Amino acid sequence: MSNTETALKEAVAIEGAVGAALVDYTSGMALGTIGGGKDFDLTVAAAGNTDVVRAKVRTMEHLGLQDEIEDILITLGSQYHLIRLLKNRSGAGLFLYLALQKDRANLAMARHQLKRIEDSLEV
């Protein structure tokens, strides 16, 4: 089992990673961040992506879909933004957020590695 700091270090070690965050989507607060920079504020990204998660959860409820969100992918011109909702008991209401440089990342591997990180994370 890994803690937040270890999980974020593992996430930012994924090939092409720009930054990562663990986010509480009920409050919009980032519980931890790593990476980013002056042109990429992870706390702002965390809060903004909270709205994305809430909207998707609400839409699924309106549609009556009895399923779980594994991840949400946002594809930009030069980046992938990957949101992975945590499913374990200690991670309820949380998501891992990972920003990747598109030209350096392998999206399938990044999704696989983020799931592995989720599985070992104990919040």
The share of the chain scoring above pLDDT 70, in percent, equals: 95
Place of tokens 């996430």: 11
DSSP state, residue 91 = G
1 burial class (0-12, 13-18, 19+ CB within 10 angstroms)?
exposed
Both tokens of 94, joined, read 């949380």
pLDDT tens for 28-50 read 999 999 998 888 899 999 999 99
How is the chain split among helix, strand and coil, in percent rounded to 5? 40, 30, 30
Taking the whole predicted model, whether its pTM rises above 0.75 is answered as yes
**pLDDT grade for 22, boundaries at 50, 70 and 90:** very high
- Using alpha carbons only, how large is the chain's radius of gyration in Å? 14
